Amino acid sequence: RKEVEQDPGPFNVPEGATVAFNCTYSNSASQSFFWYRQDCRKEPKLLMSVYSSGNEDGRFTAQLNRASQYISLLIRDSKLSDSATYLCVVNRGNYGQNFVFGPGTRLSVLP
């Protein structure tokens, strides 16, 4: 079993749809959590950090459940420009800097 697992995808949704991505992690000592976005043939870019209390940034909402070791990302009113691969990332480093990326879930928003 991989340390960070994500929905296999791809997700094909129409513009304006709401889409949710799920992620689970196996290391209970993991310290911090993130969602990154990666466009085709580009480098990953931070979308948002994920806090225990949950956090929202515009159309994007992230949730963390430490007890279930589960992270989610919700995208509301999806845009064509949201088409990308979404990577769930967990930091479990001994010195606080050992990041484990999930395999990613690809999203295609269709007109």
Partner 1 sequence: DTGVSQDPRHKITKRGQNVTFRCDPISEHNRLYWYRQTLGQGPEFLTYFQNEAQLEKSRLLSDRFSAERPKGSFSTLEIQRTEQGDSAMYLCASSLLGLDEQYFGPGTRLTVT
Which residues in 20-79 contact partner 1 (CB under 8 A)? 32, 34, 42-46, 49
The Cα-based distances of 43 to 55, 70, 85, 86, 108 in angstroms read: 24, 25, 11, 12, 18
Taking the least distance from each CB to partner 1, the nearer of 6 and 63 is 6
Q: Which of 37, 72, 102, 107 binds partner 1 (CB under 8 A)?
A: 102
Report whether 91 contacts 30 (CB < 8 A).
Answer: yes
Taking the least distance from each CB to partner 1, the nearer of 18 and 45 is 45
Taking the least distance from each CB to partner 1, the nearer of 12 and 18 is 12
Taking the least distance from each CB to partner 1, the nearer of 4 and 109 is 4
Report whether 106 contacts 7 (CB < 8 A).
Answer: no
Alpha-carbon dihedral angle through residues 89, 90, 96, 98, given to the nearest 10 degrees: -70
Which residue ranges make up the site for partner 1 (CB under 8 A)? 4, 32, 34, 42-46, 49, 87, 89, 91, 93-95, 97-104
